[in-house]
Structure 1
């Protein structure tokens, strides 16, 4: 009996010792096999074209292509559409410029079909509504193709760009996530086109300037650098506190005042020799007596209040009674409605030259922004017609001119502060790349990204001022909608590129 018990006890031990290979084989067979990376065929089209830009005849290839971004395992995760215009014959020493718009959530249609692409949509230049189609699509002599090849990038969720399969948009919708995907797209494009040693420029408009700052950090902030020759900032927003007028933030009233002044001048509510002169007077008042008054809060004297109120009325075109009721702090939203209330009109946010008519005249804020609904139809029609019909890009997707990319993660990597300012990325890049220069273009009539806010952001300590140049235009956020300013902007940037 004892021998039987011992034998029974020993049997399973013997089996376990005798068959480790068999057990391992069974375990391996039970494991799911690693899935092969899913296949994805990038959509693309190309067309040979010719045009005259900056007075020079240029043959070029226009290519619309999905740049497929993959994870470390080779699985396709996102398709970012680039539209490239490359001069022929190709020259690897020729500059290449990567451009995008803002939002976040905006496609590159605005800069591409409005300013720098070889074709542009013609909309009224005098701040009038663009009406209904057909909209003329014209050759654009102001395109930069005579001095640089051009690559327009639509980040995920904009234009025709999208995630692939079960990829999560949260991996792309955020300040750092977005910058990484755009930087990866640039690296990929450089490799595919043999352009690693070309002079390089990057740039954007509006939130696209925010993206430019975060992308330069991704390109030059580590050890695997992509060195850049220039950053082009159009309608700049880097320090998000600089233009904000939430309760308790006095800085926004300071940085918006010069734009209120130029707007009042444009609409005949103020008097001065020129927008540039009036803007400078307003700057000095805003940063001097007005800033001192605001910072004193309720400790400001009655005499100071009266003096500031009188000057504020002169610069804004608003009555002293209204200013007093607003406690000498007028937000842009209230200004849009109040400036031309006596005419039954509102002024635009993106471009305060534009005027609109609300349902009634008693509200505190406008119903909508006339400087946006005055142009959006023309651009949407133009980009779809050009991409689909002229270039032959075939897709069932809708082109997203401006769409929702929410929730957007505004948290800088490694930071928990609610203060959101990406300008230091540019300061760092300037200090660490002695050839890097920055172009800043601002419209006098832009409340979305006021020019004084851009100046404030880029004149803090740590920014080499000899390599930052400011240019100003007699229009608003999208200064290129005005014909004279599109030509001036193009000439200014063309010179900036040539000076590399």
Structure 2
């Protein structure tokens, strides 16, 4: 995952987002102005109805700002939440707090693609979303029949922003961000009389990293503990070493291989009776012979090397000659470019079902990610139309679908050793051990290279993590599996069942 943040940053540039400190008044904080002593938050409530999960539901939609203050009472940040609550209100109903990832991504993706009451219509089969219009449709797959929903845009994402002279370092970091989100959750529970409600927390991509860090803030507090019923992890990244493409790290080649196998099979570069079967074979090869070969390094015997090369070519769909030139170690970037080079196509990073056409077929990495530019315009249009229109939110700021705040992100979570091996999975293990009622749902797409499913399996199978309360679901799409209609329906059904099973 070397290019994990660099690719997101590139996507942010392509999406027209600007770093928080370089935005104009539409996007954020270019002009440093003194923070006012008081800020009046904008809060707008509208009422709607729709059919979700086969039930007719009347609900309120409240989009509003929560003002975070410093110890001296100075306003520091305005964090926007969008809450959908079934009417009449029922404190015994579950409430589900959600956010996306990045870091720097607004909640537009989960809100307008998966679980919100409206969704944007884009192609389901891996084609580019093209030019507008992008219709807003009723979303029968929303979870409003089983839980109230609160979508959170952390500082620097969506319409949320820093106030006055607030320094980015006060919010832009693994722990600082988690503290702010945890405060928003506590305040929402208090303001809405929901402390006794069953509570779920979930995110996508870096949002799963945030989930682990927020759980640590919510459940590790002796004096203000917030017990959770469930954590929903979608497209999971917890152990960053497992996905790092840094030279000398062999683990990334192991955890990416099953995703390469699924992709090769999808594009007709490999053969098997089913995706599940081929992926299962790739897992076993990756954990066994391939891992052993990589660990031997330059001491790998020639005969063993030949056998590994043959199997690696079979699973990746690449030629043995190419695999040999790569020293049995094919990075994701090279795979995207090489797999369909004979067709003049590249495959996507977020969703390798998508294909793109580069300026030319030379080189060893794609010009861009076709699975990002294939969906971004539709989602950006949808969140602006819905928030500024039917929900009535007024702002001269641009909605930051993906901003550039990641360049200033503080990834430190502890001392030297912790940061040499950035891994937030132990936060989830501790929460599971100390809360006997907590369960975890993990949803992964087979065609996701941003957060490979095998890396998630690896992270969550380590010592100290109770396995009997973790459930897994897999989807025939990529990072945002809900862009595929069948998988959106399946994801909705799976999460609905997870919540009902409490």
Q: TM-score, normalised by structure 2?
A: 0.92
Partner of 1:240: 240
Q: Is the 8 A contact 1:203 1:212 kept in 2?
A: yes
Aligned to 1:347: 347
Listed one character per residue, the Cα deviations across residues 214-251 of structure 1 (whole Å, up to 9, x for unaligned) are: 00000001212100000000000000011222110000
| Counterpart position of 2:200 | 201
- Aligned residue number for residue 375 of structure 1: 375
Does structure 1 residue 62 correspond to structure 2 residue 61? yes
Deviation at 1:123, TM superposition (A): 0.3
Look up the match of 2:97.
98
Matched residue, 2:396: 396
CA distance in 2, matches of 1:148, 1:372: 30
8 A contact 2:447–2:479 mirrored in 1 = yes
Does structure 2 conserve the Cα–Cα contact (< 8 Å) formed by 1:92 and 1:197?
Answer: yes
- Residue 37 of structure 1: CA displacement? 7.6
Contact 2:36/2:74 (<8 A) preserved? yes
2:474 partner SS: strand
Alpha-carbon offset, residue 418 of structure 1: 2.0
Q: Is the 8 A contact 2:387 2:393 kept in 1?
A: yes
Partner of 2:433: 431
1:22-33 equivalence runs, <5 A: none
In 1, the alpha carbon distance for the partners of 2:404 and 2:275 equals: 35
Superposition pairs for residues 18-417 of structure 1, below 5 Å? Answer: 38-223=37-222, 224-405=224-405, 406-414=407-415, 417=419
Q: Does structure 1 conserve the Cα–Cα contact (< 8 Å) formed by 2:125 and 2:484?
A: yes
Greater relative contact order (CA < 8 Å, ≥ 6 in sequence): 2
Q: Aligned pair in 2 of structure 1 residues 36, 370: CA closer, same or farther (>3 Å)? A: closer
| Bigger Cα displacement from structure 2, 238-247 vs 264-273 | 238-247
CA distance in structure 2 between the aligned counterparts of 1:187 and 1:390, rounded to whole angstroms: 27
Question: Retained in 2: the 8 A contact 1:244–1:252?
Answer: yes
Q: Compared with structure 1, are the counterparts of its residues 243 and 78 closer, same or farther at alpha carbon in structure 2 (3 Å cutoff)?
A: same
Say which is worse superposed, 383-392 or 258-267, in terms of deviation: 383-392
- 3-state SS, counterpart of residue 112 of structure 1: helix
Quote the Cα distance in structure 2 between the aligned partners of 1:327 and 1:431: 42
SS at match of 1:395: coil
Residue 27 of structure 2 corresponds to which residue in structure 1?
none
Between structure 1 and structure 2, the one with the greater Rg is: 1
Q: State the TM-score, normalizing by the size of structure 1.
A: 0.92
User: How far apart, in 2, do the equivalents of 1:351 and 1:165 lie?
Assistant: 39
Q: Distance in 1 between the 2:165 and 2:189 partners? A: 28
What is the CA–CA distance in structure 2 between the aligned matches of 1:357 and 1:309, rounded to whole Å?
28
Which range moves more in the overlay, 145-154 or 239-248?
A: 239-248
Could you give the per-residue CA deviations for residues 353-400 of structure 1, whole angstroms, max 9, x where no partner exists? 000000000111000000000000000000000000111111111100
Tell whether the 8 Å contact from 1:58 to 1:87 is kept in structure 2 after alignment: yes
Task: Please give the alpha-carbon distance, in whole angstroms, between the structure 1 residues aligned to 2:254 and 2:179.
Answer: 34
Once residues 76 and 245 of structure 2 are traced to their aligned partners in structure 1, the CA distance between those partners, rounded to angstroms, is: 39
Change (3 A) 1:328 1:116: same
- The answer to whether the 8 A contact 2:36-2:164 is kept is no
Give the C-alpha shift of residue 311 in structure 1: 0.4
- Distance in 2 of aligned mates of 1:222 and 1:94: 24
1:39 Cα shift?
1.2
Number of residue-to-residue matches in the alignment: 466
What is the rounded CA distance, in whole Å, between the counterparts of 1:258 and 1:215 in structure 2?
30
Q: Aligned-pair RMSD on alpha carbons?
A: 1.1
- The offset of 1:72, in angstroms, is 2.2
